């Protein structure tokens, strides 16, 4: 039996390997073997047999060859160095009479090897070192990389990598460029050397490590055909290369992803994008990635503009920023030029007005973009714009629909205020998520600016200002304490108009009354069905009090984690009886799903609707309140910004709650909206399992490095046993046919949210869609966490 398998294995091995495997193998090439031709059937091996070099036929045509170096010990695509373009059958590699190593397409052709290959003729040998470096005398292949750099290959001294398709370059060991000059990313600190453990040393004493640092693996740094620089690691357990680091993840920000005039639209995940044509344009003949789009109707004398929300065309030296105080000045500047293809305008009063002359290149759509693009089309064009803000795309239930409107009429001060405030804060977020407090100072500046523009009156329906006495009466002298939170104690009260309220007395709040008022006005403007409404505030005698709508059913944790519950990992212990709770009903699947969806939508609203400016930073079941009909409502949003400066400095790295904090809080990495996505993923798993992520007991899972998401992943995707992680209290009403789809979607979405690397996690808008089932969910990767080694 085993002999048979051995034979089978040998057989498979033999047929699956390319012709060079028949070839004679050698450790060196010298005058005595010269010349070397594709017909010599010769392969040069490194002493450790990890690398090989020689002529390799192209898969597409057996009569064309590359002279290449490749990983011999890995089974997946693996060429690390290659001559370009391919060679014909009469190519030769020889040592000339003067001792130079000479590669040519025919015996008399010019040398295709770069650099000076001269050496002593009789004594020099061509050899392949253990690290994959091919060397001959003073010449070595490491000095002339193609699209790949190997560990131990120095990148100092200005190396250039070119992607296989020739579109992208990594130059000077720092810059990523398209079409030789169009830079789209600067890695700031030049790369110097990748070591065998997976640590990249950079200039200025910087360095980073790959995600499987330390493991003894084959690795390579490659500039891929999509313009991203990635480090790959060969994972023997799946016999394939996996990405362990990459330079960027927004493919839409890579110049050249889509052709001229086209707009790149990404759904917030790292790997997918679409190139679409703007209204008034249609795909040009050929691939839209290369050829882009062309106008349906050429511009005549009579032209008009179509507004594309959140679209930025980033290409071209011919973008000119001409400060223009208002929209019509900017518009008329564009109209005056025959070669103006459109303009971008920002409503922040700073006069951002960018004309696009001659061409429209590298366009992308992203809710993080603060401007609208006004695209010039012919007057006869009938296409309507379909780039209209997140609101329509997300279809959230949101009473206030904010998108970038056309310039308001003079009388319409209210809308204008909303726009200005929103854009200002989006700008703030982008300039530094971590430094919330600097923002308070700036707000004053913006407010003064707004005042000079005659905009000091904020829209109607803002929060009411209460006096301390009013609130003291409403809460019967703060007697009915209903909660204690990180931001302060919460009391129940009743206003004179019979509205029941929750009154939150804040601790450690920065700034004077005016600043507090300004902040609260912003928070009060966030309206969403799934956000707790802020009705008013009090800023008096050093008191900082917020008045919220009262949400009757309390917070989610009270329902989800009832005492005495044990989730057993033991298959046989079916004796865990459902614990009846006299006070709290047990939430059924339908309600849990609705809670998940509502929470996802409201966080997406915070992240994306108001142009991405509010991070929650503390999503957990305690902050999810349940209203009538168990409609979930998030509380405490926007409060992270109110903290005192000194508090922020000391605790800024420790926002949030253990168990829900994304790894980047601990790793000191920048905090982005993806930190909230992680916390939400944890809540989602808890909704499914009914247990706290750090409180599961059971014989098998007491070890230090137990990690809930990893355990859940193994149960669901390895053991294929979804039922193992479901809340036992409602197992009896779990009907696998009716509920499998919902539960499966919740678990898969949670796994995507819980990825260690923020860029692997979907955006909150995408999460909401995944839960809705309006997008397909691909198989998630197993969540690991950096300080726990995986298997
Ligand atoms: C190289 O291998 C090919 C096919 O395997 C064979 O036809 C050819 O004769 C071999 N050439 C030499 C020089 O051995
Ligand atoms: C050989 O070179 C061509 C052209 O440069 C390239 O497209 C191809 O990927 C190379 N093949 C291998 C096996 O390296
Ligand atoms: C070598 O010759 C082949 C045809 O025999 C041709 O296809 C190929 O492009 C040539 N390569 C170079 C580098 O000139
Ligand atoms: C190439 O290198 C050899 C020594 O390795 C040196 O003698 C020769 O001058 C060099 N040729 C050029 C063109 O630099
Ligand atoms: C190299 O070898 C050839 C013949 O094998 C010999 O004639 C020549 O003198 C040698 N050259 C040197 C520099 O040793
Ligand atoms: C790494 O590079 C150094 C210097 O180029 C060389 O001496 C050493 O042998 C290389 N290591 C391996 C494993 O090839
Ligand atoms: C680095 O290489 C680029 C292109 O190859 C060249 O333009 C530049 O001058 C080089 N810089 C240095 C410092 O050698
Ligand atoms: C590479 O760096 C050198 C100096 O460090 C600079 O002169 C050159 O312009 C850079 N090349 C590119 C393509 O950025
Ligand atoms: C590359 O740049 C040149 C001139 O700078 C331009 O003519 C050409 O169209 C560009 N190619 C692409 C693919 O954008
Ligand atoms: C706008 O319409 C075009 C063509 O009708 C389509 O390809 C594109 O996907 C649409 N864009 C959006 C954002 O829906
Ligand atoms: C920029 O515009 C000028 C005149 O409008 C034109 O001559 C030039 O070719 C443009 N440059 C590019 C890179 O498009
Ligand atoms: C548009 O993109 C360019 C290049 O990435 C960037 O510098 C600019 O700030 C962006 N504009 C807006 C309004 O986001």
**pLDDT tens sequence across 589-599:** 888 988 999 99
> 169-173, 178-182, 522-526, 531-535: which has the minimum mean pLDDT?
522-526
Counting Cα atoms < 13 Å in the Cβ hemisphere of 481 gives 6
In ligand 2, the atom with minimum distance to the C-alpha of 59 is 13
- 3-class secondary structure, 335: helix
Averaged pLDDT, 355-365: 89
Cα distances (angstroms) measured from residue 151 to each of 242, 386, 452, 471, 637: 16, 48, 59, 66, 46
CA 130 to CA 175: how far, in whole Å? 29
How remote is the CA of residue 208 from the centroid of ligand 6, in Å? 21
Q: What residues line ligand 3, using a CB cutoff of 6 Å?
A: 85-88, 105, 112
Residue 175: CB within 6 Å of ligand 8?
A: yes
In 3D space, the residue among 529, 574, 558, 252 whose CA is nearest the CA of residue 401 turns out to be 529
In 3D space, the residue among 30, 71, 50, 85 whose CA is nearest the CA of residue 42 turns out to be 30
Averaged pLDDT, 200-208: 84
pLDDT surpassing 90 at residue 7: no
Averaged pLDDT, 318-328: 74
- The top-scoring range by mean pLDDT among 158-162, 324-328, 605-609, 750-754 is 750-754
Q: What residues line ligand 2, using a CB cutoff of 6 Å?
A: 56, 58, 66, 68, 79, 82, 84-86, 164
Q: What residues line ligand 7, using a CB cutoff of 6 Å?
A: 158, 160, 171-172
CA 18 to CA 16: how far, in whole Å? 7
Q: What is the pLDDT of residue 15?
A: 38
In ligand 3, the atom with minimum distance to the C-alpha of 91 is 1
pLDDT surpassing 70 at residue 702: no
Tell me, which fold does domain 586-620+656-791 have in CATH?
A: Transferase(Phosphotransferase); domain 1 (1.10.510)
Q: What is the pLDDT of residue 606?
A: 81
CA 752 to CA 674: how far, in whole Å? 11
- Please indicate whether residue 442 or residue 159 has the higher confidence score (pLDDT): 159
- The top-scoring range by mean pLDDT among 85-89, 246-250, 460-464 is 85-89
Whole-number average pLDDT of the chain: 77
104, 105, 112, best to mutate for ligand 3 pocket (most atoms within 8 Å of CB)? 105
Residue 464: CB within 6 Å of ligand 8?
A: no
Sequence-ordered list of residues with C-beta below 8 angstroms from that of 282, at least 6 positions apart, any chain: 293, 294, 296
Q: What is the pLDDT of residue 700?
A: 46
Q: What is the pLDDT of residue 684?
A: 95
Sequence-ordered list of residues with C-beta below 8 angstroms from that of 47, at least 6 positions apart, any chain: 27, 130
pLDDT surpassing 70 at residue 649: no
How remote is the CA of residue 274 from the centroid of ligand 12, in Å? 20
Q: What is the pLDDT of residue 9?
A: 41
| Tokens coding 148 | 């790949």
Q: Strands 182-186 and 175-178, how do they pair?
A: antiparallel
pLDDT digits (tens, 9 = 90+) for 474-515: 999 999 998 887 778 999 999 888 889 999 998 877 667 666
How remote is the CA of residue 118 from the centroid of ligand 4, in Å? 6
Residue 318: CB within 6 Å of ligand 11?
A: yes
Containing 200, the helix (H) or strand (E) segment is strand 199-202
- Is 445 annotated in some ligand binding site? no
Total number of residues shown for the chain = 791
Q: Where are the domains of the chain?
A: 24-144, 253-391, 586-620+656-791
| Tokens coding 759 | 């860029």
The ligand placed nearest to the CA atom of residue 182 is 9
For ligand 11, atom 11, which residue shows the shortest CA distance?
A: 318
87, 91, 104, 114, best to mutate for ligand 3 pocket (most atoms within 8 Å of CB)? 87
In ligand 11, the atom with minimum distance to the C-alpha of 318 is 1
388 pLDDT band, cuts 50/70/90, is low
How remote is the CA of residue 22 from the centroid of ligand 1, in Å? 9
Beta bridge partners of 505: 489, 545
Q: What is the pLDDT of residue 609?
A: 63
CA 303 to CA 307: how far, in whole Å? 13
How remote is the CA of residue 369 from the centroid of ligand 12, in Å? 7
In 3D space, the residue among 148, 131, 318 whose CA is nearest the CA of residue 231 turns out to be 148
- The top-scoring range by mean pLDDT among 317-331, 536-550, 776-790 is 536-550
Cβ distance 296 to 277 under 8 Å?
no
pLDDT surpassing 50 at residue 719: yes
pLDDT digits (tens, 9 = 90+) for 622-634: 999 988 778 899 9
Cα distances (angstroms) measured from residue 134 to each of 109, 188, 309: 22, 30, 53
Q: What is the pLDDT of residue 178?
A: 93
Active-site positions?
618
Q: What is the pLDDT of residue 778?
A: 86
Averaged pLDDT, 669-680: 84
Q: Cis omega before residue 35 (within 30°)?
A: yes
368 pLDDT band, cuts 50/70/90, is low
Q: Which CATH class is domain 24-144?
A: mainly beta
In ligand 12, the atom with minimum distance to the C-alpha of 370 is 13
Q: What residues line ligand 6, using a CB cutoff of 6 Å?
A: 129-131, 152
In ligand 7, the atom with minimum distance to the C-alpha of 160 is 5
Q: What is the pLDDT of residue 600?
A: 93
For ligand 2, atom 1, which residue shows the shortest CA distance?
A: 66
CA 337 to CA 563: how far, in whole Å? 72
- 3-class secondary structure, 434: coil
Helices 673-689 and 764-772 cross at an angle (nearest 10°) of 30
Residue 387: CB within 6 Å of ligand 10?
A: yes
Residue 21: CB within 6 Å of ligand 1?
A: no
Q: What is the pLDDT of residue 23?
A: 66
Averaged pLDDT, 48-65: 90
Residue 317: CB within 6 Å of ligand 11?
A: yes
The ligand placed nearest to the CA atom of residue 79 is 2
| Tokens coding 231 | 């480090």
How remote is the CA of residue 650 from the centroid of ligand 3, in Å? 65
- 3-class secondary structure, 538: strand
pLDDT surpassing 70 at residue 445: no
In ligand 10, the atom with minimum distance to the C-alpha of 274 is 9
CA 8 to CA 326: how far, in whole Å? 76
For ligand 1, atom 4, which residue shows the shortest CA distance?
A: 19
- Please indicate whether residue 790 or residue 141 has the higher confidence score (pLDDT): 141
How remote is the CA of residue 84 from the centroid of ligand 3, in Å? 10
Averaged pLDDT, 458-462: 39
pLDDT digits (tens, 9 = 90+) for 561-584: 875 443 333 333 333 333 344 467
Query: What phi, psi does 773 have (nearest 5°)?
Result: 90, 15
> Structure pTM?
0.59
How remote is the CA of residue 154 from the centroid of ligand 2, in Å? 24
> 74-83, 410-419, 741-750: which has the minimum mean pLDDT?
410-419
Sequence-ordered list of residues with C-beta below 8 angstroms from that of 489, at least 6 positions apart, any chain: 481, 483, 504, 505
For ligand 6, atom 12, which residue shows the shortest CA distance?
A: 131
790 pLDDT band, cuts 50/70/90, is very low
For ligand 1, atom 1, which residue shows the shortest CA distance?
A: 41
């Amino acid at each position: 039996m085993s002999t048979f398998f051995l034979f089978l294995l040998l057989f498979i091995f033999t047929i699956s390997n390319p012709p060079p495997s028949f070839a004679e193998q050698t450790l060196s090439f010298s005058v005595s073997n010269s010349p070397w031709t594709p017909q010599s059937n010769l392969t040069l091996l490194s002493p450790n047999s990890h690398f090989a070099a020689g002529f390799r036929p192209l898969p597409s045509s057996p009569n064309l060859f590359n002279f290449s170096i490749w990983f011999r010990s890995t089974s997946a695509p693996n060429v690390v160095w290659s001559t370009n373009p391919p060679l014909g059958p009469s190519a030769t590699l020889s040592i000339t009479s003067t001792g130079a190593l000479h590669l040519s397409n025919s015996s008399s052709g010019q040398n295709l090897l770069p650099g000076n290959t001269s050496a002593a003729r009789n004594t020099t040998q061509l050899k392949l070192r253990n690290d994959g470096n091919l060397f001959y005398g003073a010449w070595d292949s490491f000095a002339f990389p193609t699209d790949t750099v190997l560990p131990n290959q120095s990148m100092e001294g200005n190396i250039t990598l070119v992607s296989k398709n020739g579109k992208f370059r990594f130059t000077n060991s720092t810059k990523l460029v398209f079409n030789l000059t169009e830079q789209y990313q600067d890695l700031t600190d030049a790369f110097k050397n990748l070591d065998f453990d997976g640590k990249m040393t950079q200039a200025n004493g910087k360095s980073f490590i790959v995600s499987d640092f330390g493991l003894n693996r084959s690795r390579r740094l490659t500039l891929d055909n999509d313009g991203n620089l990635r480090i790959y690691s060969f994972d023997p357990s799946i016999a394939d290369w996996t990405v362990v680091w990459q330079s960027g993840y927004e493919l839409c920000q890579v110049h050249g992803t889509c052709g001229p005039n086209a707009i790149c639209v990404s759904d917030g995940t790292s790997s997918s994008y679409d190139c679409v044509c703007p209204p008034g344009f249609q795909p040009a003949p050929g691939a839209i990635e290369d050829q882009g789009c062309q106008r349906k109707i050429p511009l005549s004398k009579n032209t008009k503009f179509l507004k594309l929300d959140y679209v930025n065309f980033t290409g071209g030296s011919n973008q000119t920023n001409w400060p223009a105080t208002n929209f019509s000045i900017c518009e008329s500047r564009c109209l005056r030029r025959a070669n103006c293809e459109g303009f971008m305008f920002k409503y922040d009063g700073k006069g951002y007005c960018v004309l696009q002359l001659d061409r429209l290149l590298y366009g992308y759509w992203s809710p993080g973009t603060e401007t609208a693009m006004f695209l010039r089309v012919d007057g006869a064009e009938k296409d309507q714009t379909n780039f209209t803000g997140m609101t329509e795309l997300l279809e959230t239930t949101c009473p206030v629909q904010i998108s970038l409107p056309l310039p308001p009429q003079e009388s319409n001060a209210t809308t204008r205020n909303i726009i200005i405030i929103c854009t200002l804060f989006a700008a703030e977020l982008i300039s530094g998520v971590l430094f919330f407090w600097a923002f308070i100072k700036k707000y004053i500046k913006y407010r003064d600016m707004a005042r000079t523009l005659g905009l000091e009156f904020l829209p109607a329906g803002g929060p009411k200002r209460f006096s301390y006495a009013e609130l003291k009466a409403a809460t019967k002298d703060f007697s009915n304490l209903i909660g204690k939170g990180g931001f302060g104690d919460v009391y129940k009260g009743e206003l004179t108009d019979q509205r029941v309220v929750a009154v939150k007395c804040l601790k450690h709040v920065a700034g004077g009354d005016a600043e507090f008022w300004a902040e609260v006005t912003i928070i009060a403007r966030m309206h969403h069905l799934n956000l707790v409404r802020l009705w008013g505030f009090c800023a008096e005698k050093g008191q900082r009090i917020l008045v919220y709508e009262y949400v009757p059913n309390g917070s989610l944790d009270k329902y989800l984690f009832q005492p005495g519950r044990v989730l057993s990992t033991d298959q046989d212990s079916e004796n865990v009886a459902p614990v009846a709770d006299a006070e709290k009903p047990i939430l059924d699947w339908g309600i849990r799903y609705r809670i998940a969806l509502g929470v996802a939508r409201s966080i997406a609203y915070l992240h994306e609707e108001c142009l991405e400016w509010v991070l929650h930073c503390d999503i957990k079941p305690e902050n999810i309140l349940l209203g009538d009909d168990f409609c979930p409502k998030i509380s405490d949003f926007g409060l992270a910004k109110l903290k005192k400066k000194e508090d922020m400095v000391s605790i800024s790295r420790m926002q949030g709650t253990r168990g829900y904090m994304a790894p980047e809080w601990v790793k000191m990495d920048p905090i982005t909206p993806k930190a909230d996505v992680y916390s939400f993923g944890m809540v989602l798993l808890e909704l499914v399992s009914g247990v706290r992520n750090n409180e599961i007991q059971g014989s098998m899972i007491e070890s230090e490095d137990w990690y809930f998401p990893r355990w859940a992943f193994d149960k669901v995707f390895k053991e294929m046993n979804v039922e193992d992680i479901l809340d036992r209290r409602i197992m009896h009403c779990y009907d696998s046919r009716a509920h499998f789809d919902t539960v499966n979607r919740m678990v898969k979405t949670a796994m995507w949210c819980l990825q260690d690397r923020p860029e692997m996690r979907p955006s909150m808008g995408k999460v909401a869609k995944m839960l809705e089932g309006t997008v397909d969910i691909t198989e998630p990767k197993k969540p690991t966490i950096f300080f726990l080694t995986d298997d």
